[in-house]
Structure 1
């Protein structure tokens, strides 16, 4: 039977449940176990697709087109698995499923209530997903990690907490382990660590019928003398089950921190993992995984040369809006034995109109841009800050600075090229000015214009490289290992207008990759006579892994650190 590890959070939100859940799953994989993960989000939205990045952080997109919470990105990166939309449970999904069943008469006229119908639906959903073979090895998971979103005590989380209480009884104590993540704040001039918030959080959890098996306590510093003993006594958790998850040099050290404190021993004892039969091949692959992971994490701690990448975006006030992009840059940089320094530039500050309204912001943005070794323009929605992004693209093109454009970054590069090289009068995107004469980016004909949720071109789609001499010599083709077709994840409504493709290509703006289905949708471009000027319509950051960096991002880092030629050689 599948084992279940539930990760709950107390005191405050954003405490790091996702990283601890991912790290726990990765550690279990080092034993040779097959692991999957589920994220429970208590909001009423069906999915995360319509949520603003500034409100909720990045909307992560899966292979099947599911728009989900950013923590599923952490699961995929740490566990090296491909998840589906069913791995993200929301209140909206659960209530919709129950209401649809009620309308069909599945409940035989009974009054439909939170208990037992909603709580049963949650448990059935978890059990169903936990039995799905993983993409990593095709085996049914030995362990399912379930992250319970929100904070214990929140009214919207209550049905899910109750569902997990009932689930404990359903699967049995030997198949159920609860990790409660809490905060140990430091207050006062003397910097004393306080355990009361964690005690209160555990008390709330117990009041709801769940008792933590493990405490993972977030703090700035390791436990002071006596803190572990105090937490053990007042929270009724054995001392060896109380873990200090203090700030590390990087998130990649969190699994090492937990393993060094004995997390695997505690989980093995609680879940009776010693009784599971693990094939020798999987056990060996787990050992190799740990060797590679510790080697990768050690790179983060080393004194490496820095490479500065300017990210010109419109959600830069909340870095979680670009979480996968940050990870893609980190993974690429460390695999190139560099540390990446991200220079965040709010695209509105790059607009020339800022010279009059706020010249200090404009000059600060320009200072960052001109000092960068590489420039990245990510995706986004709406017309705010568009001229600033175009200005950054123009700088990268004219000054031979390595450039990567993602999604909107590809479309704007085409607009900039048409405007400043091809001489087209006021090229626009239909997203910003639908009545413009020269629409360089147009609404895709198959997309629903009326509804917002789940109506974009979403998920993994094939991109075919063009069969010609220039493509075979292009950097991006080589970075993908000279594969004729690559699969990457998409999330967009607009595309480059095929009408302008001949003009762009004649000027040296070469589309080396097109969609494999029709050959009419522009997916990858590379500019001629430039160290590295590449754009992708898809989002390559979604499938980056610590040990398998995304090729377009790796190319940007290598070009920015002047290693690209030697890498190919």
Structure 2
């Protein structure tokens, strides 16, 4: 029977529940167990697709086209999973499912209520998803990690907490473990650690019918003397089950910090997991995974050369808006034994209007771009900052700086090339100037232009390299000389296929197109440039710590002066 580990949070939001849940899942995998994950978000949206990145952080994209919370990206990266949209539960999804059933008459005239109908739907959803066969064994996963979004005490979370209160009895005590993540702040001139917020949070949780089995305490520093004992006394949790998750060199060190305190043994004991009974091949695979993970994390500690990458985006005020991109840069840099220094540049600060209104901001933005070893222009929506992205592309192209464009970054590269190389000075995207006479980027004809939620070209799609161009293609080589690749997409607009011959005749090559129709542009490369690459898809979504994304590897290698020698050895 599948065992369930619920991770709740108290005191403040954004405390790191997703990283703790991912780390716990990774440690269970090192035993040879199979793990899946579910994220519960208590907002009314059906999914994260229409949420602003500045409000909620990155919208993470799944293979099946699901637009979900960024924590599912953590699960996929840490646990090597390929999740589906059903692994993200929202209040909107639950209520919609119940209302749809009520409209069909499934409740046979009963009054539909939060308890039992909403809480039952939550439990049924969790059990259904947890029973999906795991690709490694083709059986249901051994453990299902459930992250309960929000903070204990929030009105929005109440139905989910009640559902979990009932669920613990439904699956049995030996199959249910609750990890509560809380905060131990450091206050005062002497930097004293305070336990009262955690005590209050656990008291609130107990008042709702849930008692934590394990407490993971976030703090800037490891526990001071007596803190663990005090928490144990007032939270009624054994000292051995209280863990200090203090700030460390990187998030990749969190599993190591937990493991060093005996976290895995406590969790396995609580779930009655008999470690000696796990077949040797599975446990050996788990040990190999742990060795690779610790080696990867230790690369962060090395005194490696630094590579500076300017990320020219429009949501840079909240770096969680680009969390998958940041992770992909880290994966690539640590793999090639480099440290990446990201220079965040707000795209609109590069535009001439800012030069006259705020020259210092304009100067600082361009200083970051010009001092970087490489330039990355990520995706985004809306006209704000687009011309700044075009200017950054122009600078990278003219100065032969390594460049990677993603989604809107590809479209910016196409328009910049059309204006400044092909001489089409009014080249535009129909997204920003619908009536443009030179539409180099157009709305995809099959896409709904009125409804925003879930109507883009979403999910994993195949792209095929051009047989005539692949022999000279950097990307083809970086992708292991595979003719067809699968990457995740999220866009409404595409390069106008009618203008492709004009661009290619001037040196901008479309080295890969979609494999289904062969008429949708996927990857561009520029002749004679050390590394000028852009993709319509989002390669950051399937980058993993132990398997970095090829376009990011290429960018970091080029920015380090290592790309040519790397390609020769492939």
Same fold (TM over 0.5): yes
User: Could you tell me which residue of structure 2 aligns to residue 458 of structure 1?
Assistant: 458
Q: Any unmatched runs of 5+ in structure 2?
A: none
Give the secondary-structure state (helix, strand or coil) at the position aligned to 2:503: helix
- TM-score, normalised to structure 1, is 0.99
CA separation in 2, counterparts of 1:136 and 1:224?
A: 42
Note the C-alpha offset of 1:136: 4.3
User: Could you tell me which residue of structure 2 aligns to residue 507 of structure 1?
Assistant: 506
User: Could you tell me which residue of structure 2 aligns to residue 19 of structure 1?
Assistant: 19
Q: Does the aligned pair in 2 maintain the 1:36–1:141 contact within 8 Å? A: yes
Q: Does the aligned pair in 2 maintain the 1:82–1:134 contact within 8 Å? A: no
Q: Is it true that 1:547 corresponds to 2:546 in the alignment?
A: yes
User: Could you tell me which residue of structure 1 aligns to residue 181 of structure 2?
Assistant: 181
In the TM superposition, what whole-angstrom CA distance separates every residue of 1:217-240 from its partner, at most 9, and x where no partner exists? 000000000000000000000000
User: Could you tell me which residue of structure 1 aligns to residue 563 of structure 2?
Assistant: 564
Stretch deviating more after TM superposition (352-361 or 201-210): 352-361
User: Could you tell me which residue of structure 1 aligns to residue 392 of structure 2?
Assistant: 392
User: Could you tell me which residue of structure 2 aligns to residue 530 of structure 1?
Assistant: 529
In the TM superposition, what whole-angstrom CA distance separates every residue of 1:106-142 from its partner, at most 9, and x where no partner exists? 1111100000000000000000000111234433200
User: Could you tell me which residue of structure 1 aligns to residue 91 of structure 2?
Assistant: 91
Give the secondary-structure state (helix, strand or coil) at the position aligned to 2:157: helix
User: Could you tell me which residue of structure 1 aligns to residue 252 of structure 2?
Assistant: 252
Stretch deviating more after TM superposition (386-395 or 274-283): 274-283
User: Could you tell me which residue of structure 2 aligns to residue 110 of structure 1?
Assistant: 110
User: Could you tell me which residue of structure 1 aligns to residue 474 of structure 2?
Assistant: 475
Give the secondary-structure state (helix, strand or coil) at the position aligned to 1:437: coil
Q: Does the aligned pair in 1 maintain the 2:31–2:275 contact within 8 Å? A: no
Give the secondary-structure state (helix, strand or coil) at the position aligned to 1:353: helix
CA separation in 1, counterparts of 2:411 and 2:277?
A: 52
CA separation in 1, counterparts of 2:160 and 2:54?
A: 26
CA separation in 1, counterparts of 2:269 and 2:96?
A: 39
CA separation in 1, counterparts of 2:48 and 2:23?
A: 23
CA separation in 1, counterparts of 2:15 and 2:33?
A: 27
User: Could you tell me which residue of structure 1 aligns to residue 67 of structure 2?
Assistant: 67
Q: Is it true that 1:49 corresponds to 2:49 in the alignment?
A: yes
Q: RMSD in angstroms over aligned alpha carbons? A: 0.8
Matches within 5 A, 1:279-428: 279-428=279-428
User: Could you tell me which residue of structure 2 aligns to residue 240 of structure 1?
Assistant: 240
The aligned length equals 568
Note the C-alpha offset of 1:380: 0.3
CA separation in 2, counterparts of 1:539 and 1:186?
A: 39
Q: Any unmatched runs of 5+ in structure 1?
A: none
Note the C-alpha offset of 1:281: 2.1
Q: Does the aligned pair in 2 maintain the 1:34–1:139 contact within 8 Å? A: no
Matches within 5 A, 1:184-223: 184-223=184-223
Give the secondary-structure state (helix, strand or coil) at the position aligned to 1:155: coil
Note the C-alpha offset of 1:472: 1.7
User: Could you tell me which residue of structure 1 aligns to residue 444 of structure 2?
Assistant: 444
User: Could you tell me which residue of structure 1 aligns to residue 489 of structure 2?
Assistant: 490
CA separation in 2, counterparts of 1:52 and 1:222?
A: 35
- TM-score, normalised to structure 2, is 0.99
Give the secondary-structure state (helix, strand or coil) at the position aligned to 2:178: strand
CA separation in 2, counterparts of 1:58 and 1:519?
A: 30
